[in-house]
Amino acid sequence: MDENKVVEQNINEDELFHFVEYDAMKAEQIGYSNYSYWGSVFTNFLKRKSAVFMSCIFFGLVLFSFIALAIGKYNYAELVTDSSLAFISPNGEYWFGTDNIGRDYWCQVWYASQTSIKLALICAVGECILGVIIGLVWGYVRSLDRIITEIYNIFNSVPQIIYMTLIALMIGQSFWIMCVSIIFTHWLVMARNVRNLVFMYRDREYNLASRTLGTPIFRILSKNLLPYLLSVIILRLAMSIPGTISLESMLSYLGLGLDINTPSLGILLRNARAYFLDYPYLLVFPAIIVSLITITFYLVGNAFSDASDPRNHV
């Protein structure tokens, strides 16, 4: 009985299967997978409702800062000091009130938020580029490891505030000097993160294979290693934005940051420090806006870095 069954099945299989004519188009379709890296990053990101909501708030806020400056009754460049108008609480004429020397607070606050965002974005991108390049070379080229580690240690051990103060004293204080000095002192963290990751992936078999096949270093770095690092880089990028805004406010408060004529969060709060106990609106408006920006970046950055980790993709 059993043998008969087997024979039957064989016959059936022969009937069932037959060769199909080769078709290049159809062969492509079988091999094609719908997966695209950035596609899945965005689908994963969009699944997080809170992060999407927060990024909408952020874009809304940036957009509104331009609208706010346009619809405000005073132009930042044309503000005049008039002490008879000092400390007017928010009203129809001065939407955020006036500061201690009678200048409209509304346009100062929005202008300051724009300055802070601009500074943070430029610094984040700058330190990211510098950090990733140095980190890749540091991690990949063995002979440079020792030297760059020593340079890193020395850079890292001198308190950053010394660099900041020296730069402020020797070169001056302006928006671009501030950008350069923040990038100059902050690439270290990114470079170390990237270096440690490169160390982990450098000697995996697929890289060994690539190297034996004679792939140029640049291609190994950019095609084999960089995709693995992307989620860490994005996380660091997003975290550095609230960090930079904080740092800028602190430095400006200490008088080491931007010059007095470029309003930023730190300068506003420094000016308000003596008065905000009696006139709390001087604190409340800049504090709320900037906290919104930094918290949003923090959450969105976390969500986006989760989404950009290929191990979380299906």
Partner 1 sequence: MFKYTVKRLGQSLITVLIIVTIVFCLLRLLPTDYYFTEDQLMKFTDQQKHDALEAAGLLDPIPVQLVNFYNDILHLDFGESRRIQNGVPVVKVIGDKFGISMRNGLISMALSMVIGIPMGIMQAMYKEKLFDSIGTAYTIFVNAVPALVSYSLVLVFGSRVIGLPSMYSTRNPGPSSILPIVCLSLSSIAWYALWMRRYMIDEINKDYIKLARVKGLSTSTIMYKHVMRNAFVPLVQYIPANAIMTIGGSLLAERFFSVPGMGPLLTDSINRYDTNVVQTLVMLYSSLSILSVFLGDVCMMIVDPRITIASKGGKR
Where along the sequence are the contacts to partner 1 (CB under 8 A)?
A: 153-154, 157-159, 161-162, 165-166, 169-170, 242, 245-246, 249-250, 253-256, 265-266, 269, 273, 276-277, 280, 283, 286-287, 290-291, 294-295, 297-299
Closest CB 240 distance from partner 1, rounded Å: 12
Q: CA 200 to CA 81: how far, in whole Å? A: 59
Nearer Cβ to partner 1, position 227 or 280?
Answer: 280
The smaller minimum CB distance to partner 1, of residues 80 and 158, is found at: 158
**Nearer residue to partner 1 within complex by CB, 187 or 253:** 253
Q: Which two tokens stand for residue 20?
A: 């199909």
Exposed e or buried b for every residue in 201-227, given b needs 16+ CB within 10 A?
A: bbeeeebeebeeeeeeeeebbeebbee
Least distance CB 24 / partner 1 (angstroms): 49
Give min distance, CB of 167 to partner 1, in A: 10
**In the complex, least distance from residue 291 CB atom to partner 1, rounded to whole angstroms:** 5
- Residue 9 vs 149, nearer CB to partner 1: 149
Packed helices 49-71 and 37-47: angle between N→C axes, nearest 10 degrees: 90
Q: Which residue has the tokens 């008065």?
A: 275
Check: CB of residue 67 under 8 Å from CB of residue 54.
Answer: no
* Closer to partner 1 by Cβ: residue 96 or 297: 297
Minimum CB separation of residue 286 from partner 1 in Å reads 8
Rounded distance, CA 225 to CA 197, Å? 9
